[in-house]
Chains A and B, each alone.
Chain A
Amino acid sequence: MADSFPAPRIDPIRSRYLDLVRRRQLYSGLTLTIFAVLMASGFGLANDRNAGGFLDGIGNIFAFPANVIEEAAAKIADMPANLLRFFPALVETVNIAAVSTLVGGTAGFALALLSTRGLAPWALAIPLFRRAMDVMRAVPEIVIALVLIYVLGGGPVPAMIAIAFHTAGALGKLFSEVNENADLKPVEGLASVGAGWAQRMWLGVVPQVAPNYLSYALLRFEINIRASAILGFVGAGGLGYELKNAMSWGQGRFDQAAAIFLLLFAAIVVFDQLSSHVRDRLTKGAAA
C-alpha cells in the first residue's frame, strides 16, 4: 500500500504541517511570554507606586482583620446592639439598590425596545439609542454620584440616580439582546388586528421576554447592592457611609466595623442565594 503513496507527495505535506504546528507553538509561546512579562512588570510597577510594598504588607494582611475580630470578640456583648443600630443603614443600602434597579430597569426596557431592529418605532434612531446606552454603561457610578452629591447634598438620592443611570445602560443592552431573539409572529398578529406600537410591545413582546428580563434584573440587583455599599463610602449614605465613619474615627470603633462587615456580608450572601434560586426557577420554568 505504501508504494501507492509515493514519498515525495507526503513529505511536503508533513513538513508543511509540522511547520504550521511549530509556528503555532511559537506564536502561543510568544503570547504567553508577553503576557507573563506584562503581568510581572505590571505587578512590579504597581508595587513601586504603592505606599507599602507587597512583601512588607503580606505579613500584615491578617493584622487588621485580627484586630477587628479581637475587638469585636472583646465587646461581643455589644454586637446585637450594634447589628440593630446599623440595620437601618443596611435597609437604606438595599433600598438604593432596589430602586435603582427598578428605575434603571424600566429605562433599560424602553431603551431596549427603541434599539432593537424590528421592534423600534423609529428604525433610523436605533444607532442613536445604542450609542446612548454605550455611554451610559461607560460612566462609572462614582462619577455621577460625586457630582450629584455636590449639587444635591449627601444622601441616598445621588447614589440612586447614579446607579440607575448605569443600570439603564447595562440592562438596556442585555434586554435588547433578549429582544433580538423574540419571535415576531405575535407582533405581526397584533399589528394585523390594528394594535398600536405600545400594545404590540406590551402584549406581543413582553410575555416572551419577561422571564429573561427578570433574571437579568435580579442579577443586576445583586451587583447594585455592592455598588450602593461602595458609593456609601464616598458619602452617599447607607452601610458604606457608616463603615467609613466607624473606620475613620481611629481605634476603638472596630467592633462597629465588624458589625457592618457582618451585615454587608450577610446581605450579599442572602440576596445572592435568593436571586440565583429565583433565576434558576425562571430559566428552568421558561424551558419547561
Chain B
Amino acid sequence: MSDTAVLKRGAVGLIGRKRLIAFAFPGLVLAYLAYVAIAFDVAGLAERARLDNGRTLLADSYSYKTHVTRDNRSGEVTVAIEGERKGTYAADAPPDWVERKGARTQIDLGDGHLVSFGPEMVSYNVPGYGLIEARPSVSAGVETNLTGPLPDWISLSRNRLAVTTEAGRLTVTRNRSEVFRYFVGWELFFFTLDSPYHGHSAASLLFGPQIDPDRSNLAGAWHDFWRNPMWRHADVAWALFETVLMAFLGTMGAALVALPLAFLAARNFTPVMAIRFGIRRVFDFVRGVDGLIWTIVLARAFGPGPMTGALAILFTDSGTFGKMFSEALENVDRRQIEGVQSTGAPLLARYRFGVIPQITPVLLSQALYYLESNTRSATVIGAITGGGIGLLLTQAIITQKDWEEVSYYIVLIVLMVSAMDWISGILRRRLIRGA
C-alpha cells in the first residue's frame, strides 16, 4: 500500500514538473519576445515606416507612368516614358492618346479624363467634378478657377497646383505643366522607342516584311532586345552568370582545398596528434571568421569583383568542408583499404581505390548542396564586394527609382536559385545512385 503511495507521489511530482516546464517554456519565449520588441523599438517602427515608399514600390513593380511635360517658358512639349531620355517619344510621333493641334496639346487619360495644355491655359476635365483651369505665369505663379473648399485630391498653393485622380496626375507650376498617365506592365521591356522594332508583335517580326533594310528581322530584333539601354538584358545576364560563377568557383575550390587537408585531420589517416589538432583548429578558425570578414579582408587585397567573392566563399567553406570530409574519412570502412593493400597496391593506389570511392558520394552531395546555398551567399557577397546580380540589385534599390527593375532582379534571383537547387538535386540523386 505504501509502495503505491510512494509511486503515486513520484508520479504526481513528475507530472507537476512537466506541467511547470510546459508553461514555463512558452512563458520564457514570450518574455524574450517582449524584451526584443522593446530592444528593437517595434513601437517606434510605425513612425519610421514610410508606407508611401511601400506603395510606390508596389505600384511601380507592376506599372509604369508616362510623363507629358510642357516647358511653360519655351512652350515645348515632350512625352517620355518614366521621364527618361531613353524613353522619349519623337516630337512628331507621340503616342495616340496625346494629340497635338498647333500650340495646343490634348491628353486623353481615359475614362473621360481630358487634359489640355494651351498656350496660356492648362485645363483638366475631371468627370463628375468639372473643369479645372489653371494659368501658370512667371510673374503671378499659378492662378486657377478653383474656389471654396477643395477635395483632398487637389492641392493648391500660390505656385503649385496638383491634381491626383485614378486616371493620372497633373502638376502645374509656373515653369512647367506635367501629366502622368499610368499603364500596367514593364515599359519598353523588349525594345526602346528608338528601336525600329518597337511596337511590332512577335509574329510580324518573324514572318512580316523586313523592317530595317540593313539587318534581318531576327538578328536586328535580338540585337536591339539584348542591348536594350533601359533594361540592359546583356548586363543582367552577365551579372547572373557572374554570381553563379562565384558560387561554383568558391564551392568547388573549397572542396579541392579541403580534401587533402581533411586527410591530415582524420584520426585514422594521421596518427600524429599535433598535426591533426593544428589542422582542425585551422578549419575552426577559417569557419569562425565569418564570410563577412573574409569578404572585407579579401576586398582590400583584390579589389571589388567576382574573384574576391569566389575567394571569400572558398575560404569560409574550406573550413566547413574540411570538418565534414574529415568526419566522413574517420567513418571509412578499413576492410576495403586492406583489400586493396593485400594486392600489393602502393599508398596512393590504396587511397585512390580504397578510400576515395567510399567518400565520393558524401563529398559530392555536400559540395552540390553547398553550391545551391552559395548561389544565395554569392548574391549577398556580390552586394558587398561589388559583383554579380547582388550589385545590380543594391544599385537599383539605392537609386530608389526603378522599382520595376528591382522586381525584375528579384524574380531573376529567385529563378536562378531555384534552377541551381534543381540542378544540384538532379546531380546529387544521379551521382549517389551511380556510386
Q: In the assembled complex, how far is the CB of residue B116 from the closest CB belonging to chain A, in whole angstroms?
A: 37
Residue from A45, A60, A99 within 8 A of B301 (CB atoms): A60
Task: Assess the A39–B33 pair: CB atoms within 8 A.
Answer: no
Which residue on A lies nearest to B46, using beta carbons? A152
Q: In the assembled complex, how far is the CB of residue A262 from the closest CB belonging to chain B, in whole angstroms?
A: 10
Beta-carbon contacts under 8 Å, B231-252 to A: 242, 245-246, 248-249, 252
* C-alpha gap A283/B143 in the complex (Å): 78
Q: In the assembled complex, how far is the CB of residue B312 from the closest CB belonging to chain A, in whole angstroms?
A: 11
Task: Assess the B296–A247 pair: CB atoms within 8 A.
Answer: yes
Task: Tell me if B36 counts as interface (CB < 8 A to partner A).
Answer: yes
Task: Assess the A230–B39 pair: CB atoms within 8 A.
Answer: no
Task: Assess the A265–B249 pair: CB atoms within 8 A.
Answer: no
Residue from B32, B49, B290, B383 within 8 A of A234 (CB atoms): B383
Task: Assess the A155–B41 pair: CB atoms within 8 A.
Answer: yes
- With a cutoff of 8 Å between Cβ atoms, the chain A residues found around residue B290 in the complex are 226, 229-230, 264-265, 268
Task: Assess the A49–B421 pair: CB atoms within 8 A.
Answer: no
Which residue on B lies nearest to A59, using beta carbons? B301
Q: In the assembled complex, how far is the CB of residue A109 from the closest CB belonging to chain B, in whole angstroms?
A: 13
Task: Assess the B303–A57 pair: CB atoms within 8 A.
Answer: yes
- With a cutoff of 8 Å between Cβ atoms, the chain A residues found around residue B307 in the complex are 43, 46-47, 49-50, 53-54
Task: Assess the A63–B303 pair: CB atoms within 8 A.
Answer: no
Which residue on A lies nearest to B417, using beta carbons? A138
The segment from B92-100, B177-185, B387-395 that touches chain A is: B387-395
* C-alpha gap A26/B402 in the complex (Å): 51
Q: In the assembled complex, how far is the CB of residue A234 from the closest CB belonging to chain B, in whole angstroms?
A: 6
- With a cutoff of 8 Å between Cβ atoms, the chain A residues found around residue B249 in the complex are 39, 42-43, 46
The contact string, 1 if C-beta is below 8 Å from chain A, for chain B 379-410, is 11001100100100110010010000010001
Task: Assess the B253–A39 pair: CB atoms within 8 A.
Answer: yes
- Report the tally of A-B residue pairs with Cβ distances under 8 A: 184
Task: Tell me if B57 counts as interface (CB < 8 A to partner A).
Answer: yes
Which residue on B lies nearest to A264, using beta carbons? B290
Decide yes or no: A143 and B393 within 8 Å by CB, A50-B303, A54-B302 being known contacts: yes
Task: Assess the B310–A150 pair: CB atoms within 8 A.
Answer: no
Task: Assess the A134–B418 pair: CB atoms within 8 A.
Answer: yes
Task: Assess the A142–B383 pair: CB atoms within 8 A.
Answer: yes
Beta-carbon contacts under 8 Å, B21-79 to A: 29, 32-33, 36, 39-42, 45, 48-51, 53-54, 57
Task: Tell me if B154 counts as interface (CB < 8 A to partner A).
Answer: no
The contact string, 1 if C-beta is below 8 Å from chain A, for chain B 289-318, is 111110011101111111110100000000
Task: Tell me if B81 counts as interface (CB < 8 A to partner A).
Answer: no
Q: In the assembled complex, how far is the CB of residue A161 from the closest CB belonging to chain B, in whole angstroms?
A: 11
Task: Tell me if A92 counts as interface (CB < 8 A to partner B).
Answer: yes
- With a cutoff of 8 Å between Cβ atoms, the chain B residues found around residue A102 in the complex are 29, 32-33
Task: Assess the A49–B379 pair: CB atoms within 8 A.
Answer: no
Task: Assess the A141–B305 pair: CB atoms within 8 A.
Answer: no
Task: Tell me if B224 counts as interface (CB < 8 A to partner A).
Answer: no
Which residue on A lies nearest to B410, using beta carbons? A143
Q: In the assembled complex, how far is the CB of residue B26 from the closest CB belonging to chain A, in whole angstroms?
A: 11
Task: Tell me if A51 counts as interface (CB < 8 A to partner B).
Answer: yes
Decide yes or no: A157 and B298 within 8 Å by CB, A50-B305, A140-B379, A143-B413 being known contacts: no
Task: Assess the B53–A140 pair: CB atoms within 8 A.
Answer: no
Task: Assess the B53–A51 pair: CB atoms within 8 A.
Answer: no
- With a cutoff of 8 Å between Cβ atoms, the chain A residues found around residue B108 in the complex are none
- With a cutoff of 8 Å between Cβ atoms, the chain A residues found around residue B377 in the complex are 140
Residue from A46, A146, A265 within 8 A of B305 (CB atoms): A46
Decide yes or no: A265 and B289 within 8 Å by CB, A39-B252, A150-B397, A247-B296 being known contacts: yes
Task: Tell me if B330 counts as interface (CB < 8 A to partner A).
Answer: no
* C-alpha gap A288/B42 in the complex (Å): 44
Residue from A35, A61, A151, A231 within 8 A of B57 (CB atoms): A151
* C-alpha gap A140/B414 in the complex (Å): 8
Decide yes or no: A147 and B397 within 8 Å by CB, A46-B306, A54-B307, A157-B40 being known contacts: yes
Task: Tell me if B284 counts as interface (CB < 8 A to partner A).
Answer: yes
Beta-carbon contacts under 8 Å, A123-163 to B: 134-135, 137-143, 146-147, 150-153, 155-157, 160
- With a cutoff of 8 Å between Cβ atoms, the chain B residues found around residue A155 in the complex are 40-41, 45, 48
* C-alpha gap A261/B42 in the complex (Å): 28
Q: In the assembled complex, how far is the CB of residue B250 from the closest CB belonging to chain A, in whole angstroms?
A: 10
- With a cutoff of 8 Å between Cβ atoms, the chain A residues found around residue B287 in the complex are 272
Which residue on A lies nearest to B290, using beta carbons? A226
Q: In the assembled complex, how far is the CB of residue A91 from the closest CB belonging to chain B, in whole angstroms?
A: 8
Task: Tell me if B196 counts as interface (CB < 8 A to partner A).
Answer: no
Q: Can you list 5 residue pairs at the A/B interface with Cβ under 8 Å?
A: A39-B252, A135-B414, A142-B383, A150-B53, A261-B289
- Which 4 residue pairs of A and B lie closest in terms of their CB atoms, listed nearest first? A51-B303, A50-B305, A52-B303, A57-B302
